[in-house]
């Protein structure tokens, strides 16, 4: 039953209906933009939410208006009780989705179906096996691409997320788009964003404008069709005429979508982040274990949300390491 008090609306009138839950800080890949080369200090196992605690916190959010939950990581499927978590969350009146690197996704096809999961986001930063292995620091390209094809064959809605890094995979943008000619997928190009330990600088970033310049140089103007974005969408969506799939650009850096943001993030150690770029967090797990009501903490966290990118409202601020360096590495946030 939905509560009367509106604890998920911030001071700018944004209603937060989309909760992203990180199940683990562990991953079976080591992508350079996500994890520092030296790794990260992991939370002690006792500090990680149990499946019952994940369910309890998730239910609190659903009771207060959350309509969509996406499971992330690290890699959510490496968690040993991930199947139990999926099945428990599937009992809630909410759309359930998952983000994965697809390395072991073939083991969970029937679980996804039984839990009503239709939308699956897969990280894939290169269509070249050598470059994939370089950026992920693992040799799993063939397995990942085979599993992407399996997901499509099994009828799932698949989105491929590619983080663009200038000089590394920007020369594959057109190849990714041409993949949508034969596959009914959405390829989403993500601007390289600054997080702790990923050695971000503006020169490595492919902007929305630069991506579209490449697209318009390759395809005729009348072939490139703008698709109407869904409410609260983070991406600007396009389609090439006659292609089965589509492509999109997530421009978090150069053209942020903060005005319509409806997302909140729960880390694997039970901390609530009101923005991907926020350097502050609110502990929900400790008060939950103490038997306290976590709703006031949730409300205070939502109310303290900045209007734009955790307070970094200009590109100049985003370029200051002392600001974005206070944030976690992406692997510890959950995307």
Q: How far apart are CA 250 and CA 38, in angstroms?
A: 28
User: Which tokens sit at 329?
Assistant: 């590495």
Per-residue pLDDT, 313: 58
**Coil, helix or strand for 246?**
strand
Q: What residue segments make up the domains of the chain, in order of their start?
A: 18-333
**Cα torsion 269, 272, 276, 278: sign:** negative
**Strand runs (DSSP E) across the chain, as ranges?**
18-22, 68-72, 95-100, 119-123, 157-164, 186-191, 224-226, 236-240, 246-250, 263-266, 271-273, 282-283
The rounded radius of gyration (Å) of the Cα atoms in the chain is 19
Per-residue pLDDT, 1: 47
The ranges of the chain with pLDDT < 70 are 1-4, 30, 32-40, 193-201, 255-257, 309-335
Superfamily covering domain 18-333: Aldolase class I (3.20.20.70)
CA atoms within 13 A on the CB side of 297: 18
41-95 tens-digit pLDDT: 778 889 999 999 999 999 999 999 999 999 998 899 999 999 999 999 999 999 9
The model's pTM is 0.88
User: Which tokens sit at 29?
Assistant: 């890949």
Nearest to 333 by CA among 214, 198, 230, 229: 198
Determine contact, residues 272/266, Cβ cutoff 8 Å.
yes
């Amino acid at each position: 039953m939905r509560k009367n008090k509106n604890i998920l609306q911030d001071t700018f009138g944004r209603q937060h209906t989309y909760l992203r839950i990180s199940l683990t800080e562990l991953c079976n890949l080591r992508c350079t933009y996500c994890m520092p080369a030296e790794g990260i200090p992991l939370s002690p196992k006792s500090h990680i939410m149990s499946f019952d605690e994940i369910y309890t916190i998730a239910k609190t959010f659903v009771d207060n208006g959350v309509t969509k939950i996406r499971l992330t990581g690290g890699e959510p499927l490496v968690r040993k009780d991930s199947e139990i978590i999926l099945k428990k969350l599937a009992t809630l009146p909410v759309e359930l989705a998952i983000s994965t690197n697809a390395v072991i996704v073939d083991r969970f096809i029937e679980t996804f179906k039984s839990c009503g999961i239709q939308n699956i986001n897969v990280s894939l930063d290169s269509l070249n096996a050598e470059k994939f292995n370089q950026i992920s620091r693992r040799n799993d390209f063939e397995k990942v691409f085979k599993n992407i094809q399996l997901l499509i064959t099994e009828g799932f809605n698949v989105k491929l997320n590619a983080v663009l890094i200038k000089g590394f995979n920007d020369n594959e943008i057109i190849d990714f788009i041409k993949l949508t000619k034969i596959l009914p997928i959405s390829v989403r190009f993500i601007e390289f964003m600054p997080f702790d330990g990923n050695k971000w600088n503006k020169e490595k970033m492919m902007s929305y404008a630069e991506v579209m310049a490449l697209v318009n140089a390759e395809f005729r103007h009348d072939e490139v069709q703008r698709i109407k974005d869904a409410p609260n969408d983070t991406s600007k969506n396009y389609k090439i005429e006659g292609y089965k799939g589509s492509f999109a650009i997530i421009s978090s850096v150069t053209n942020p979508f903060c005005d319509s943001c409806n997302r909140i993030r729960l880390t694997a150690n039970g901390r609530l982040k009101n923005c991907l770029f926020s350097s502050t967090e609110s502990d929900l797990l400790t008060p939950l274990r103490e038997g306290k009501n976590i709703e006031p903490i949730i409300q205070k966290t939502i109310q303290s949300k900045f209007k734009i990118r955790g307070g970094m409202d200009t590109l100049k601020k985003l370029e200051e390491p002392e600001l974005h360096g206070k944030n976690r590495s992406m692997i510890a946030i959950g995307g």
